[in-house]
Amino acid sequence: MTGLNEKNEFITYIFELELIKSADEVKEFMRNNSSPYVFQCDEPKTIRFEWFLSEDEKSATLIEMFEGSDAAKLRLEHHSASHLIKEFPEHFNVKSFRVLGNVKTDMRESLADWEADIRSYTGGFFKL
The domains of the chain are located at 11-119
pLDDT digits (tens, 9 = 90+) for 42-80: 999 999 999 999 999 999 999 999 999 999 999 999 999
DSSP codes joined into one string, 13-66: EEEEEEE-S-HHHHHHHIIIIIHHHHHHSS-TTEEEEEEEE-TTSSEEEEEEEE
Cβ–Cβ < 8 Å for 99, 12: yes
- C-beta atoms surrounding 24 within 10 Å: 9
pLDDT for 2 beyond 90 = no
* pLDDT given for residue 26 in this prediction: 98
pLDDT for 128 beyond 80 = no
User: Can you tell me the distance from the alpha carbon of 30 to that of 60, in angstroms, rounded to the nearest whole number?
Assistant: 10
pLDDT for 110 beyond 90 = no
Q: Which pTM value belongs to this model? A: 0.95
The mean per-residue pLDDT over the stretch 32-49 comes to 97
pLDDT for 1 beyond 90 = no
The mean per-residue pLDDT over the stretch 105-117 comes to 90
CATH class as words, domain 11-119: alpha beta
Q: How confident is the model at residue 112 (pLDDT cuts 50, 70, 90)?
A: confident
